[in-house]
Amino acid sequence: GQNIDQPTEMTATEGAIVQINCTYQTSGFNGLFWYQQHAGEAPTFLSYNVLDGLEEKGRFSSFLSRSKGYSYLLLKELQMKDSASYLCAVRDSNYQLIWGAGTKLIIKP
Partner 1 sequence: IAGITQAPTSQILAAGRRMTLRCTQDMRHNAMYWYRQDLGLGLRLIHYSNTAGTTGKGEVPDGYSVSRANTDDFPLTLASAVPSQTSVYFCATSSGYRDGGADTQYFGPGTRLTVL
Q: Is residue 70 close enough to count as binding partner 1 by CB under 8 A? A: no
Q: How far is the CB of 8 from partner 1 (least distance, A)?
A: 8
Smallest distance from the beta carbon of 80 to partner 1, in angstroms? 23
- CA 102 – CA 37 distance, rounded (Å): 9
Residue range at the interface with partner 1 (CB under 8 A); choices 12-20, 21-29, 72-80, 95-103? 95-103
Number of shown-chain residues binding partner 1 (CB under 8 A): 20
Q: Which of 21, 23, 61, 96 binds partner 1 (CB under 8 A)?
A: 96
H/E stretch holding 87 reads strand 84-91
Q: Does 87 bind partner 1 (CB under 8 A)?
A: yes
User: Any bridge partners for residue 63, and if so which?
Assistant: 54, 72
Task: Report the C-alpha gap between 16 and 78 in whole angstroms.
Answer: 5
Helix (H, G, I), strand (E, B) or coil at 108: strand
